[in-house]
Structure 1
Amino acid sequence: MKDYKVETLIYYSKLTTDSRHIVKSSKKEIQEKLDEYAKEGYSLTSTDATNFGSAVYIYLYFEKTI
């Protein structure tokens, strides 16, 4: 049997000349979530991202066998 979890992270765009500011600011938090779920025995199975207005939504899909 498998247990599934979805983690949603939201980042907002801001006026800047750095077009990669969301990538740079999100790396640390995403790595922390990966580490957190790995400690609980979950593995990352898929990711997805969408945008709405000035927000970027990143979805991390995890699973583990129970």
Structure 2
Amino acid sequence: MKEYKVETLIYYSKLTFDKYHIVNSSNKEIQEKLNSYAKEGWRLVSTDASNFGAAMYIYLYFEK
């Protein structure tokens, strides 16, 4: 039977001229999460993102 897990990451926007600052600052952390879960046997099966106010929520869905 498969197991499922959701990891939620939250990033906050800041005043800057760089419209990609969240992407640039989150890449390293997201890659570390993916590597960590992969070592434990989890596989990324889906992603999603939403925003609310100044926050961006990134959802990583894993199965094992």
TM range (shorter): over 0.9
Q: Map residues 1-66 of structure 1 onto 2, 5 A cutoff.
A: 1-64=1-64
| Identical counterparts, % of pairs | 78
**Per-residue deviation at 1:23?**
0.2
- What TM-score do you get using the length of structure 1 for normalisation? 0.96
The structure where strand makes up a greater share of residues is: 1
Number of matched residues?
64
Displacement over 2 Å in runs of 4+: none
**Alpha-carbon RMSD:** 0.3
Which blocks of at least 5 consecutive residues in structure 1 are unaligned?
Answer: none
- Counterpart of 2:26, as a letter, is S
- What TM-score do you get using the length of structure 2 for normalisation? 0.99
